[in-house]
Amino acid sequence: MTVPPQLIDRLKSAQRVVVLTGAGVSAESGVPTFRDAQTGLWSKFNPEELATPRAFRRNPRLVWEWYEYRRKLVAEAKPNPAHTALAEMERLFPEFHLVTQNIDGLHQRAGSRNVVELHGNITRTKCFDEGTIVSNWTETGDVPPKCPNCGGLLRPDVVWFEEPMPEKETALAFRFGTNCDLFFSIGTSAVVFPAASLPFEALESGATVVEINLQSTPLTSKAHFVLAGPAGSVVPDLLKSLRI
Ligand code: BV8
C-alpha cells in the first residue's frame, strides 16, 4: 500500500499519537471478529445476545462455555504483523497511546507496553457477584466454576453489552484521544459505543484522523485519511514509510 505523502509528513511531525484498535486487527491472527459469522455450534447464537449479563444469568453454562471456546482460540492465536508494527510504533513518537476494544491480549503479547483495554481481557476471570479478579480456583466440575471466596459464579473479566466500560481506562482513553495530533482507528466497525465515539471526539479536538479498515464505517466519510486494506499489511507499510 502506498502511504499518501501528506500522511507521511503528518506521521513524521506527529508528537502525540493515539491508536484505537478493534477486532479487525486480530482477524489475521485467526481470532474471529464480532461480525464474522459465528462458526460451528456457536453459529445459531448472535454474539450480542451472548455477551450480556442477562444471557449469563439466564444460562451461565452456555456463556461460560462460549468464552472457554474463544479463550482457546486466543491462546492458539499469534500476534500478526499489525500487532508487531504497533508495538514498534510505540517507541517512535514522543507520546504514543494504544487503546483497544479487543479482549485477546495480542497487543501485549506483541510487545506493546501501555495498552488501555476498554472492554477487558478474556484471559482474566472475575467473580460475577463481587467483581474481584480470581486467578485460581479448585476445579469441582461446576460450569461455570464457583468463586473460592463467596461461592458466586465466575465469569470472564470482559465488558458485556449494557455494562459500563471501566472508569479508569475510559477516562484515560478520552483524555488521550482528545489531546493528540494524530489518531488512528484500525480494524473497528465504529458502531459500539462509548468506544466508537473516540475517533469522533479526536476529530472534534482537531486531531488528524486516519482510518484503516477493509470496509467503510460511519467514520470513513469524516476521516482525513482512509487506508482501505488489511491491517496486517497496511500498518507495517506505515511503519516502513516512517523509516524512510
Ligand atoms: C454501555 C467485549 C452503558 C465482550 C464488547 C441498548 C441497551 C444498552 C446499551 C446499548 C443499547 N443500545 C446501544 C447501546 C450501547 C451498546 C452499543 O454500543 N451497542 C451497539 C451494538 C449499538 N454499548 C454497550 O452496551 C457498552 N456499555 O453502553 O454501558 C452503561 C453505562 C453505565 C452503567 C450501565 C450501563 C458496552 C459495549 C462493550 C461490549 N463488549 N466486547 C466480548 O468480546 O465478548 S464489544 C465487541 O463488539 C468488540 O469489543 C468490539 O468493540 C465490538 C464490535 O465487534 P466487531 O465488529 O467484531 O469488531 P469491530 O467493531 O472491531 O469490527 C471489525 C472491523 O474490522 C470491521 O469494520 C471489519 O471491516 C474490520 N476488519 C476485519 N478484518 C480486517 C479489518 N480491518 C482491517 N484489517 C483486517 N484484516
Residue-wise pLDDT tens digits, 141-177? 999 999 999 999 999 999 999 999 999 999 999 999 9
Q: What pLDDT does 153 receive?
A: 98
Atom of ligand 1 nearest to the CA of 195: 51
Residue nearest to ligand 1 atom 48, measured at CA: 101
Q: What pLDDT does 243 receive?
A: 80
CATH code of 32-76+129-158, in short, is 3.30.1600.10
Q: What pLDDT does 37 receive?
A: 66
Distance CA 47, CA 168 (A): 26
CB 70 within 8 A of CB 23: no
Q: Which CATH architecture has domain 1-31+79-119+164-244?
A: 3-Layer(aba) Sandwich (3.40)
Atom of ligand 1 nearest to the CA of 34: 57
Q: What pLDDT does 49 receive?
A: 85
Instruction: Output the CA 215–ligand 1 centroid distance in Å.
Output: 16
Q: What pLDDT does 75 receive?
A: 97
Q: What pLDDT does 111 receive?
A: 98
Q: What pLDDT does 68 receive?
A: 96
Instruction: Output the CA 88–ligand 1 centroid distance in Å.
Output: 27
Q: What pLDDT does 43 receive?
A: 75
pTM across the whole model: 0.96
Domain with CATH 3.30.1600.10 in the chain: 32-76+129-158
The parts of the chain modelled with pLDDT lower than 70 are 37, 40-41, 244
Measuring CA to CA, which residue among 148, 169, 133, 182 is closest to residue 3?
182
Residue type present at position 216: S
Pocket of ligand 1 (CB under 6 A): 22-24, 27-28, 33-35, 48, 51, 101, 103, 119, 158-164, 187-189, 191-193, 195, 213-215, 217, 230-232
Domain with CATH 3.40.50.1220 in the chain: 1-31+79-119+164-244
Q: Which residues are catalytic, by number?
A: 119
- Among 193, 211, 215, say which to mutate for ligand 1: greatest number of ligand atoms within 8 Å of CB: 193
Q: What pLDDT does 33 receive?
A: 87
For a pLDDT cut of 70, what percent of the chain falls above it? 98
